[in-house]
Amino acid sequence: MRIFFLLLTLLCLQKIFADNPRVKYNFKSLNSRYELKPSDTLFSDNKVYEDSIYDSKTKSYYKSTYTIPDRYYWGLYDTKTKEKLYTIKNDSLFIEFKTALISNDGQNIVIIDDRLPGFCYKGFEIMTFYEKNKRIKRLKLGDLVQNMCSLSYSVSHMFWCFNDFDFNDSKEITIRTYEFYNYTFNKDGELLNKQSSITFGENDALVVGAIKRESRNKYSVKTNFCIRGNLKAGEILDIKCKDSEMKKIYGRLYGFLKSKKKAMKKEFTRTFLIKDSKIKKTDFAVPIYNSYDSCNSANLME
């Protein structure tokens, strides 16, 4: 039995933390009329690029330099006529590692970096807007994500939004971030609307915290990260919660197997809502918020 659960655990860990590279060399509009793909070779000019890399041990950034090998121009093609309409230079965009959205008339392209390398750096460019081959707007991570603790990490990438975005019939794009805000932009990259994607009260809080049972129906909660709300990291709350409700927050393995009918005495960490001064299980899917504690410091950086 122990071997079975060990194998099950290893399988789950593999699915959670495995990080296969995502490389894609073509993107189509929703109506499939237009396709963006590599078209012409651009030979490297040996230009030296510089990047900031975060060191989790020293909790500081260091500079890394690199050159780019031969890259491509990417062309937008009419899939019916096979005609190349225009090209976009891909010397530093790395379109193949990102997501490209193409309007149904082929006039606008948005490149979205929804799978960033590195750590929570507000200066990462995450959205680039084009009108044909002319770049008209660029947005950074800090423009859409205020709380760096709301990010999710794999082995080598950082995620900040849900991938349910595309152009609508009005050539608008709505991005849903892991902070549960919807940002709607027009084709030129202008922000049209920002609104919460969940029902969230003024005094509510979405928290990642360590929960400990103090006595029957009484718990203490230490805030690790506050994704939404006004709680501070390290803040400790005394909360009344029925043991039966806490079992829902913990999950089906509350108490673990033979002891599942007993009250949990060991401290555990979960993502939960604090609503009307009560702790509740979220009724919506949440990402895995697995930031380093230093994300709270990153929020103070400009």
Write the pLDDT tens digit of every residue in 261-293. Answer: 565 677 889 999 998 888 888 889 999 999 877
pLDDT greater at residue 218 or residue 91: 218
Residue 70 has a pLDDT of 55
pLDDT band at 45 (very low <50, low <70, confident <90, very high): low
Question: Considering the chain, what percentage of its residues have pLDDT values greater than 90?
Answer: 50
Residue 20 has a pLDDT of 56
Residue 21 has a pLDDT of 56
State the pTM of this model.
0.79
- 152 closest CA partner among 291, 299, 12, 294: 291
Write the pLDDT tens digit of every residue in 118-129. Answer: 777 889 999 999
Per-residue pLDDT for 104 more than 90?
yes
Write the pLDDT tens digit of every residue in 142-171. Answer: 999 999 999 999 888 899 999 999 999 999
Per-residue pLDDT for 9 more than 70?
no
Per-residue pLDDT for 15 more than 50?
no
Residue 69 has a pLDDT of 54
